[in-house]
Homo-oligomer: A and B are copies of this chain.
Amino acid sequence: MEKKILLTDCPDAKGLIAKITNICYKHQLNITRNNEFVDRDHGRFFMRTELNGIFNDETLLADLDDALPQYTKRRLVPAGRKRIVILVTKEAHALGDILMKCFEGALDVEIAAVIGNYDTLGKLVEKFDIPFHHVSHEGLSRPEHEAELMKVVDSYRPDYLVLAKFMRILTPSFVAAYPHKIINIHHSFLPSFIGANPYRQAFERGVKMIGATAHFVTDDLDEGPIIEQSVIHVNHAMSANDMARAGRDVEKSVLSRALQLVLDERVFVYGNKTVVFK
């Protein structure tokens, strides 16, 4: 008996759930969990189906392709461990939370490697017996640096890249190499305070709450599809530094939750939005 997840993303039509679940039934697969959503504005149907049984992937997918509309995107993925590469700069908290969660078994993922454009976090990573690569950007053009990064990344063939406070802007060509595969944590409640130093911006504006946003990286800085957000209260007595410190706990927990959702195949991207089946 295996466990797999069927992900269907197609134009909406009558009877889609019946068709898909029928095919699963015919294949003697047990549906242990099912979620659907129809975006009426765009006439798009999304379904995530957890299946248990003995799989013949080829015939199952063929049956689905026969039954479903044109322009259907469907994937059948084993419900197993995925592999990530983490990119960092100097701040430890977001990386540290993922390292610790893997260590204690709370996050079931293989951290293939961590890459830093500084070597600051090398010692931390090595404590957990995970390879750390220092790929400095100094003296390199942005494309040169990214070429170096890609060489290391690709050597690990990760399912996802996680930017755990990686403080470099990525070029469209880097992003294009990993479409919907790069998850970033931004230290503000987007779309507030895009760009540099959001805590300073929040402090200057005098907001009463600050937040963090995990999103897929696209060509537009801090404009990618949002996966998860959270906030905390702040007050006038807090400096920009106090806010940054308090914000770290939000950043790390939002990034970890977003990563878990992605790893569990609960996130569909369409347009510049996400469907997240919690």
A residues in contact (CB < 8 Å) with B: 14-15, 17-19, 21-22, 24-25, 28, 30-40, 91-93, 96-97, 100-101, 103-104, 106, 124, 127-128, 189-193, 205-209, 211, 225-231, 235-237, 239, 245, 248-249, 253, 256, 272-276, 278
Contacts and interface: CB of A to CB of B under 8 A. Distances in A.
22 contacts: A14-B25, A17-B17, A18-B22, A21-B21, A22-B22, A92-B100, A93-B104, A93-B106, A96-B104, A100-B100, A103-B124, A106-B248, A191-B192, A191-B205, A206-B272, A208-B227, A208-B229, A209-B211, A209-B230, A209-B231, A231-B231, A249-B256
A23 B119 CA distance: 51
Contacts of A104: 91-93, 96
Contact of A17 (B31, B191, B230, B273): B31
Contacts of A103: 92, 96, 124
A92 B102 CA distance: 11
Q: How many copies does the complex hold?
A: 4
B17 A34 contact: yes
Contacts of A36: 33-34
